Structure 1
Amino acid sequence: MRGQTNMVLDDVRAISQPLALPNGVVVRNRLVKAAMAEGIGLGGGTPRKGHSNLYNEWAKGGWGIIISGNVQIDSRHLASPHDLTLPSHSSTLKAYTKLASTVHETATSPLLVMQISHPGLQSSSTINLSRWPWEAAIAPCRDRPTVSDGPIGWIWSRAVWPVKSRQIVKSDEWLEIVKKFIDGAVLAEKAGWDGVQVHSAHGYLLAEYLSPLTNPRPKPLPNVPDYIPIRLHLLYLILKGIQDNTSKSFIKAVKINCSDFVQGGIDEKQATQIVKTLISWSILDIIEISGGTYSSPAFASPESIKSPSSTSSRSTRQSLFAHFTSTLLPFIPASPNGPAILLTGGLHDRNLIVSSLKNKACDLVGIGRPACLYPHLPSKIILNENISDEQARFGGYNIPGSKLMKFILGGSDTKNSIKLVGAGISTMWHEWQLCRIGRGVEPDLNMHWLKGLIVEELWYEVILGLPVKLWRSWT
């Protein structure tokens, strides 16, 4: 018994160990609430009461860092109907300042990082209703996501993306996007946030610029040094611009794919070189490793890909991403001499977290979906010395009704299934849990998917939320 107690204490101490970042900021422990779409409110806009309630619960939960869901730099191009945006209005700074104060005024006061994004060609006009259906998404190419090779996938693709993306050709338009990312970071710092994470993964616009699949013939952008690889021009201008326009203590982070998991996209060899190049710029404090696109959503659907070493559901995502970071970390300077490596996906028990830290697979551990059910996960379970390692497991739960919905919507595990549907069903259910927390209601692990659709999405978000959306848009 004493041996088990000592082991628990050792594990808790390992996870509780502070970490100094290159900019001098210290993370109080190794646990990061990873970015998850909050699902609160329709049609973009600034944080509202539900966000404050939700973030207050996370802030009291003992996390070292809280990373927001998508904050889109262009309100016309959303990844989901509930994304936060950065409208050019005097109330924007006030709203984001209030949310930061909600987090920092708690006793534990975790670091708060804003994830700034642009979904690129994956932005749907029909689902998000942020622009007319015939108004195209923008990207380095003229295309639309391919969600499946079968006829159902063909219908889904054209229903969600009625027209192909518009290819950005002029450098001036790329530079305007750069400015929006920089402006977003500047606003975040003015609002009291501790940093930003630039989203360059999951097939979003910056990832599309990096990928040979969506940007086969990249053109050089102005004001970029000759030694910068051409595919990194856009990301360089954004990160350098953020560095030049914010303070040293402001955290600069990036989310990057270790693989696109689609033929013709970025593979691990290319991703390794990209990460090493990013580190050589001495700009970043944190690099988060993820993977996949809407066509192959590894980041949101662990069952969509299989580990080369195991087929068990527990090891799919964790093994794939951890394999990449484990081979990378020995060749890069350890934080604070280099950026901290954040690994997210599948680390759903204390043993896996500790082994990932001790085996140098990462410096920080990101937890997403379990944080939707257990906002106080660090303090009540992971870092609770009275909870044994066997009890400190918080993944592996099933979503009631999800199999039926996957079958109905074409996301079942078949050859021509739509992997994005399966990932979306899980994502929406977890968003509904966050909506409950935002209303001051406990998460419900036993909530049937259809109940969530009717009560959380249709009633609270559409029927009650649409008038609020229209009023906010008008005012």
Structure 2
Amino acid sequence: MTRTTDKGDNFDRHDIDLIASSLILPNGVVVRNRLVKAAMAEGIGLGGGPPRKGHINLYKRWAEGGWGIVISGNVQVDPRHLASPHDLTLPDGASTLKAYNELASAVHDSPSPPLLLMQISHPGLQSSSTVNLSRWPWEPAIGPCSERPSVSEGMMGWIWEHAVWPTPSRKITNLEEWSEIIDGFIEGAVLAEKAGWDGVQIHSAHGYLLAEYLSPLTNPNPLPLPGVPNNIPLRLHLLHSILKGIHDNTERKFIKAVKINCSDFVEGGLDESQATEIVKTLVSWSTLDIIEISGGTYSRPAFASPESLKSPSSARQSLFSHFTSSLSPFLANPPEGPAILLTGGLHDRGLITSSLEDRACDLVGIGRPACLIPDLPNKIILNDYLPKEEARFGGYDIPGSDLMKRLLDASSKSKNGIRLVGAGISTLWHEWQLCRLGRGVEPDKNMHWLEGLLVEEIWFEVLKGGPMGWWRYWRS
């Protein structure tokens, strides 16, 4: 490949040097560069449990790709309550610790290892009993209210809602049950540290349980939790108890991160003004090293379908950069304050550079393109043989996705379109690319959606690849 001209080379060198520069977190840990493989469901394995061989193969590819940080997909603190049937969980037993340690070792044994964070979650009222099969169909999800998530208006929306959530969620009223949930997050972080992970990210976004506790829509009358100081806002009691517990039970060098919504994007939910005050309060506790800004819920899945909220006139493609840009003047730069992680739409070198220069963020999260190009930092973003105009990724079409959206009434252009299903069509296709990497097969950008369903999901995940796959699975 031919290098750029001297002028272009110097300009690209500045961009690359900035993105490749290290960052010191408040706890003193150094991030080798500004690129983060954002959390995504890996789609590997069914029914929860610890990491499998496919996870190790996949994470080795990311570990060798030049990332500064790699964040796992959901690791659920309660195996009965999953966000997807492929979620990792934290069951008891020595085998769990060993499996997570093997995954951490696979990452840290690479020549230039990234930091590895475990995303710890609880999906709350959005957990489906019929999709995930992790509890009886009539056993409800749990949350701070008794609700059934709304995915769309109209008859099709009603059918989807009642098929996915046969019963409304059960409101948690027992303080002991809240304490058990808090303990689950703390124990998950302690296990991650023992297993050799570099830190955890607490998932308090996307309408999951911790986000539900924060939102006035799903928790209109929050009750005080025991042991929380009186000066802590009621809606932050749950998150405060979890973060303080993790802070008190892990080493200082163990990274503490949180993912939080800048908005729920639904009427009556958390808005940007409320989110701003929440972030300021979180920072004041001095317990966090990284704050990731996201947004949306299953009712309005902005985190999974950013095109639904983009403005055509937007100069920067990042979905949540307007929020972080307005927030950054109030926050100290790392290491005095936590690093701001921004994920969504930053799909070329120039946009990444401008976001860092403008301090819309300190770290840049990249999700779906990392499913197709696991070594994205080395291959494109930090490749000084690749000029700026070629250092772009994303913007690709998924073969067959438009057909599936029409068949499933999931078009975002329709008033009654089921956005959750539309977002799920794209999410599944990217998960199937991760399944291929887990099997040691390269991603296929031209894979038709139905081919992914039949081959990756049904044949390899559900049927384990037939008789030979059953034999290998039994032996392992």
Short-chain TM bin = over 0.9
Alpha-carbon distance in structure 2 between the residues aligned to 1:396 and 1:390? 14
Q: In structure 2, do the counterparts of structure 1 residues 261 and 18 end up closer, same or farther at CA, with 3 Å as the change threshold?
A: same
SS at match of 1:141: coil
Deviation at 1:303, TM superposition (A): 2.1
1:266 paired residue among 264, 270, 277: 270
Alpha-carbon distance in structure 1 between the residues aligned to 2:84 and 2:391? 32
Aligned residues of 2:321 and 2:342 also touching (Cα < 8 A): yes
Alpha-carbon distance in structure 1 between the residues aligned to 2:257 and 2:108? 20
Does residue 1:431 correspond to 2:445, yes or no? no
What amino acid is aligned across from residue 351 of structure 1 in structure 2? G
2:301 paired residue among 289, 297, 303: 297
Instruction: Kindly provide the CA deviation profile for residues 303-329 of structure 1, in whole angstroms up to 9, marking residues without a partner as x.
Output: 22233xx357x956x1x4000000101
Alpha-carbon distance in structure 2 between the residues aligned to 1:4 and 1:331? 35
Aligned residues of 1:42 and 1:465 also touching (Cα < 8 A): no
Alpha-carbon distance in structure 2 between the residues aligned to 1:190 and 1:135? 33
Instruction: Kindly provide the CA deviation profile for residues 36-60 of structure 1, in whole angstroms up to 9, marking residues without a partner as x.
Output: 0000000000101000000000000
1:416 aligns with 416
Deviation at 1:387, TM superposition (A): 0.5
1:203 paired residue among 180, 202, 207: 207
Deviation at 1:463, TM superposition (A): 1.1
Alpha-carbon distance in structure 1 between the residues aligned to 2:416 and 2:191? 44
Q: Within 5 A, what are the aligned runs for 1:256-335? A: 256-307=260-311, 310=312, 318=318, 320-335=319-334
TM-score by length of 2: 0.96
1:454 aligns with 454
Aligned residues of 1:66 and 1:112 also touching (Cα < 8 A): yes
1:218 aligns with 222
Number of equivalent positions: 469
Alpha-carbon distance in structure 2 between the residues aligned to 1:267 and 1:365? 23
SS at match of 2:116: strand
SS at match of 1:390: helix
What amino acid is aligned across from residue 375 of structure 1 in structure 2? P
1:183 aligns with 187
Instruction: Kindly provide the CA deviation profile for residues 288-309 of structure 1, in whole angstroms up to 9, marking residues without a partner as x.
Output: 00000000000000122233xx
Does residue 1:61 correspond to 2:60, yes or no? no
Q: In structure 2, do the counterparts of structure 1 residues 146 and 315 end up closer, same or farther at CA, with 3 Å as the change threshold?
A: farther
Q: Within 5 A, what are the aligned runs for 1:76-475? A: 76-307=80-311, 310=312, 318=318, 320-412=319-411, 413-464=413-464
Aligned residues of 1:42 and 1:466 also touching (Cα < 8 A): no
Aligned residues of 2:459 and 2:466 also touching (Cα < 8 A): no
Alpha-carbon distance in structure 2 between the residues aligned to 1:195 and 1:90? 20
What amino acid is aligned across from residue 288 of structure 1 in structure 2? E
Aligned residues of 1:71 and 1:84 also touching (Cα < 8 A): yes
Q: Which 5+ residue runs of structure 2 have no aligned equivalent?
A: none
Deviation at 1:439, TM superposition (A): 0.4
Q: Which moved more, 1:203-212 or 1:412-421?
A: 412-421
What amino acid is aligned across from residue 139 of structure 1 in structure 2? G
Alpha-carbon distance in structure 1 between the residues aligned to 2:97 and 2:465? 22
2:16 aligns with 12
Instruction: Kindly provide the CA deviation profile for residues 322-363 of structure 1, in whole angstroms up to 9, marking residues without a partner as x.
Output: 000001011111100000000000001101100000011000
Deviation at 1:466, TM superposition (A): 10
What amino acid is aligned across from residue 86 of structure 1 in structure 2? L
What amino acid is aligned across from residue 390 of structure 1 in structure 2? E
SS at match of 2:292: strand
Q: In structure 2, do the counterparts of structure 1 residues 465 and 130 end up closer, same or farther at CA, with 3 Å as the change threshold?
A: farther
Identical pairs, percent: 71
Q: Which 5+ residue runs of structure 1 have no aligned equivalent?
A: none
